Amino acid sequence: MARITVNTLGDQPHIYLTMDTDAGNVYDGTNSTTWVSTTNALDVTCLQDITITNSTGVFSWTDFCQLDMQKITTPADNSVETNIVIEDTDFFGTDPASGANAVELGVNGLSSEKQYVQFVVVMNGDLDGTAGKRWYQGTGYITSIAPTVNPEAPVWVSPMTIAVTGDFTTGVVVT
């Protein structure tokens, strides 16, 4: 059984965010070196955990024609939830006043400016073009930013949720 391992040999998960949501620039697993660059995509690192949720709803009803409940699926409410250790430039951006791209806005700016983003979650490493890396891709909004710190955990951390608009695309990096 093949396992997708993390935190060994530098294969930690990454979340990439970009404000480029043009359908012609959707990440598809083959153009990692052109889609992701330091000028347009923010590589959110220092992740404590990630939960990827595909929550398909179910509508149930009864009628006098059947003895049992009837069910049909409804649209899914998808999300990516994580907790991040706040790193100065990833969280606050390199130039939030300009806000020309995700790198300049940072996580906090993308959320507070209500920017529609494209995301790629790589489960086992970064997008360096190495074949075999598993990923989720989609679009949505950054929500639930809530930095916190306390004397017993003296590092700023924050939850971060990507409220997904539509569905996920999944795949594996090919070269």
Domain at 14-58+69-172: CATH architecture: Roll (2.30)
Query: What are 172's strand-pairing partners?
Result: 134
10-residue block means of pLDDT along the chain (175 residues)?
69 90 71 58 91 93 92 94 95 91 95 95 82 89 97 96 93 77
* Two structure tokens written together for 63: 């009628």
Task: Return the domain boundaries, the chain.
Answer: 14-58+69-172
Instruction: Please list the alpha-helical segments (H only) found in 41-95.
Output: 88-92
User: What is the Cα–Cα distance from 51 to 36, expressed in whole angstroms?
Assistant: 22
pLDDT at site 3:
75
User: What is the Cα–Cα distance from 21 to 151, expressed in whole angstroms?
Assistant: 40
Instruction: Please list the alpha-helical segments (H only) found in the chain.
Output: 32-35, 88-92, 102-112
pTM over 0.85: yes
Q: Give the residue from 55, 46, 40, 54 showing the smallest Cα distance to 15.
A: 46
pLDDT at site 45:
85
